[in-house]
Chains A and B, each alone.
Chain A
Amino acid sequence: MPEIKKEKKSIRAQYGQTLVELGRENKNIVVLDADLSASTQTAKFGKEFPERFFDMGIAEQDAITTAAGLSTTGKIPFVSTFAMFATGRAWEQIRNTVCYPKFNVKIVATHGGVTVGEDGASHQALEDVALMRLIPNMMVIVPADCNETKQVIKFAASYKGPVYIRLARTNVVDVFDDSYNFDPHKAVVVKKGNDVTLVTNGETLSETLDCAKILEENSIKAEVIHLPVVKPLDEATILASAKKTNKVVTIENHSIIGGVGSAICELLSEKYPVKTLRIGTNDVFGQSGEQRALMEYYGLTAEKLAEKIRGIL
């Protein structure tokens, strides 16, 4: 199990920095934002490459569809805004004009989950992974830390086809060191165990690892699987773990409907039914609050997770 460094870093700043690096390497990288370039950190790219940066204003539908057009001329467009507006407002544009023709558009949405914080329910996307996972040809990735985010963004630029990447607003601790290699085909067994499988991704990975430590104090050995690529799903890694533990818990900063929980339960119910528990927001909207308070309220902190998981063992 990797040693978690407690220093927290901005995953969004990492995204902005990686875009700049990509922009230097490849003149076909173009970036579109919808009046949130300071928050999404695409402004860094805009400053260095103003001719390849398009602030589309508060017009997400136009941003996504313009990106689709740009992709037909050989450009590799990255479109960024908050997850709520990218996947909610522009869903049909993404379905019909990005995914149906399999255009090479990358949607990197920030502010996924309840940890948007004080802005509250209108800005907290708890459905975005579900909305994107549903669309044919769409790849869905939720990286856990800065190191992985950098690799995921670079992978997206090299992959030909639509990709949705969800980033948290929260600053996150490093889970992976420099030896980590992101593999788009693989779920990552971060900690081995025999008693229960915990499947998670994004900012809840570090909480889940902390939760596993707490469970260990109760002599429960949890296997922790990080699922950066929600679709296409690495079925083999999940099934192998389920066969070992016979108990699978999913943990996500997202609705328990349609996201990681659904993806795992769909797989297990067809191929290897075992006892499951989905932890996330339970078919409710979010609300205003400080990030940590919201994590506690929705049961996503290590202590709250451990309490729930002990309940099913």
Chain B
Amino acid sequence: MINQSNELSSDELKEIKDLCLKMRKDILMMIHSAKSGHPGGSLSCVEILATLYSKCMKHCPDWEKDCDFEKRDRFVLSKGHASSTLYSVLCRLGYFPESELKTFRKLGSKLQGHPSCTSLKGVEVSTGSLGQGLSIACGIALGLKLDKNPANVYVLLGDGELQEGSVWEAFMNASHNKLNNLIAFVDRNKLQIDGNTENVKGLEPLAEKLEAFGWNVMEIDGHNPQEIYEAVCVAKTMATPSVIIADTIKGKGVSFMENDAGWHGKAPNDEEYNKALAELEQI
């Protein structure tokens, strides 16, 4: 399953592309069915989660049964509002049956609005309140290092989330403790609820800031699985923690959702849902 070279084969790229299409359909179905959710930022990180879960991470769909559970790689969805993306990839890789997807956000569901680790196996930690995932990931990385456990920790942050001050406490902590088993992604879709990040409270020059905090920084196209995969391969060779700034499009794949902050936290109506699905079929 795990590719040993730094490049994905054309078969593997096709496999990821197919997975991403399924995930986009799942995301729209879940949010449409729930009549609520966060399509914009869920669609922007599809390739990142698809590539990580299918090609980069050692993980355990059957949870505690089919792999060395303690040595599994950990993933933290710091931008917990992209829960539908996480649920879809977990489902498609065998963590739970497809029939559960439509329970998303409904009373009694394992698929809570924001991920809950006590509700669904495969969710490592509960998230949703922004600014905390990187610190949690640092804690996991510290614990693994203490145990000389070779597993890696992956964390996905939103870009708007970087306005939370506690994130920068964690950036300091990770480099101070040389947590090179920690690989962070920033889903740089450039939009937050109130508009463009640079108009709300500017993040740039982001790469320079992160470098100044002692991180190995890489900038990639966040919709290109090959680049995602290569960046992770490089990150695994570093002596410092790595952050991969993934340039993405909020709402990616659905023309009328793309680059529109209005689709941050809004569900499509029936007409919009059908139009979106029709567009995805064209890809």
Residue numbers of A with Cβ under 8 A of B are 30, 51-52, 54, 56-57, 59, 61-62, 65-75, 77, 92-93, 96-97, 100-102
State whether A65 touches B166 (Cβ < 8 A).
yes
Given known A101-B116, A101-B118, A101-B126, contact A66–B136 (CB-CB < 8 A)? yes
Identify the closest chain A residue to B76 (Cβ).
A69
20 extra interchain contacts, Cβ-Cβ under 8 A, other than A65-B139, A72-B74, A97-B127?
A30-B143, A59-B169, A61-B166, A62-B135, A62-B166, A65-B136, A68-B135, A68-B139, A69-B137, A69-B138, A69-B141, A70-B143, A72-B125, A93-B166, A97-B129, A100-B126, A101-B116, A101-B117, A101-B118, A101-B125
A104–B140 alpha-carbon span in the complex (Å): 13
State whether B147 touches A65 (Cβ < 8 A).
no
A52–B140 alpha-carbon span in the complex (Å): 14
Selected contact of A74 from candidates B118, B143, B173, CB within 8 Å: B143
Identify the closest chain A residue to B141 (Cβ).
A69
Given known A51-B146, A101-B126, contact A69–B136 (CB-CB < 8 A)? yes
Given known A92-B129, A96-B129, A102-B118, contact A65–B143 (CB-CB < 8 A)? no
A62–B135 alpha-carbon span in the complex (Å): 6
Selected contact of B144 from candidates A30, A73, A92, A97, CB within 8 Å: A73
State whether B118 touches A66 (Cβ < 8 A).
no
A266 to chain B, nearest CB (A): 27
Identify the closest chain B residue to A69 (Cβ).
B139
Selected contact of B143 from candidates A72, A92, A97, CB within 8 Å: A72
Given known A57-B172, A73-B147, A101-B116, contact A68–B125 (CB-CB < 8 A)? yes
A101–B114 alpha-carbon span in the complex (Å): 12
A47–B120 alpha-carbon span in the complex (Å): 40
**Residues of chain B within 8 A of A77, CB atoms compared:** 139
State whether A96 touches B128 (Cβ < 8 A).
yes
**Residues of chain B within 8 A of A102, CB atoms compared:** 118
Identify the closest chain A residue to B139 (Cβ).
A69
User: Is B257 positioned at the interface, with any CB of A under 8 Å from its CB?
Assistant: no
Identify the closest chain B residue to A73 (Cβ).
B143
A239 to chain B, nearest CB (A): 33
User: Is B149 positioned at the interface, with any CB of A under 8 Å from its CB?
Assistant: yes
A92–B135 alpha-carbon span in the complex (Å): 14
State whether B126 touches A61 (Cβ < 8 A).
no
**Residues of chain B within 8 A of A100, CB atoms compared:** 116, 118, 126
5 A–B contacts from the bound complex (CB under 8 Å):
A61-B135, A62-B173, A69-B138, A69-B140, A73-B139
User: Is B240 positioned at the interface, with any CB of A under 8 Å from its CB?
Assistant: no
**Residues of chain A within 8 A of B129, CB atoms compared:** 92, 96-97
- Point out which of B74, B132, B170, B177 has the most chain A C-beta atoms below 10 A from its C-beta: B132
Interface residues of B in 47-76 (CB under 8 A from A): 74
User: Is B142 positioned at the interface, with any CB of A under 8 Å from its CB?
Assistant: yes
State whether B132 touches A56 (Cβ < 8 A).
no
**Residues of chain B within 8 A of A70, CB atoms compared:** 139-140, 142-143
**Residues of chain A within 8 A of B146, CB atoms compared:** 30, 51-52, 73, 75
B78 to chain A, nearest CB (A): 10
**Residues of chain B within 8 A of A101, CB atoms compared:** 116-118, 125-126
Residue numbers of B with Cβ under 8 A of A are 74, 116-118, 124-129, 131-132, 135-144, 146-147, 149, 165-166, 169-170, 172-173, 177
Selected contact of A66 from candidates B74, B124, B142, CB within 8 Å: B142
**Residues of chain A within 8 A of B127, CB atoms compared:** 97
B136 to chain A, nearest CB (A): 4
A116–B166 alpha-carbon span in the complex (Å): 27
Selected contact of A69 from candidates B116, B142, B165, B169, CB within 8 Å: B142
**Residues of chain B within 8 A of A30, CB atoms compared:** 143, 146
- Point out which of B141, B142, B144, B173 has the most chain A C-beta atoms below 10 A from its C-beta: B142
State whether B170 touches A54 (Cβ < 8 A).
no
A278 to chain B, nearest CB (A): 33
**Residues of chain B within 8 A of A52, CB atoms compared:** 146
Identify the closest chain B residue to A89 (Cβ).
B166
A100–B166 alpha-carbon span in the complex (Å): 19
A20–B123 alpha-carbon span in the complex (Å): 34
B157 to chain A, nearest CB (A): 13
**Residues of chain A within 8 A of B142, CB atoms compared:** 54, 66, 69-70
The 7 closest A-B pairs by CB, nearest first: A69-B139, A73-B143, A65-B135, A62-B169, A66-B139, A59-B169, A69-B136
**Residues of chain A within 8 A of B170, CB atoms compared:** 62, 65-66
B102 to chain A, nearest CB (A): 25
**Residues of chain B within 8 A of A62, CB atoms compared:** 135, 138, 166, 169-170, 172-173
Selected contact of A72 from candidates B116, B124, B177, CB within 8 Å: B124
State whether A72 touches B173 (Cβ < 8 A).
no
A61–B165 alpha-carbon span in the complex (Å): 9
A25–B6 alpha-carbon span in the complex (Å): 44
- Point out which of B140, B147, B177 has the most chain A C-beta atoms below 10 A from its C-beta: B140
State whether A66 touches B135 (Cβ < 8 A).
yes
**Residues of chain B within 8 A of A61, CB atoms compared:** 131-132, 135, 165-166, 169
**Residues of chain A within 8 A of B147, CB atoms compared:** 73-74
Identify the closest chain B residue to A54 (Cβ).
B142
Given known A61-B169, A69-B140, contact A93–B149 (CB-CB < 8 A)? no
A102–B116 alpha-carbon span in the complex (Å): 11
- Point out which of B118, B138, B140, B143 has the most chain A C-beta atoms below 10 A from its C-beta: B143
- Point out which of A61, A66, A102 has the most chain B C-beta atoms below 10 A from its C-beta: A66
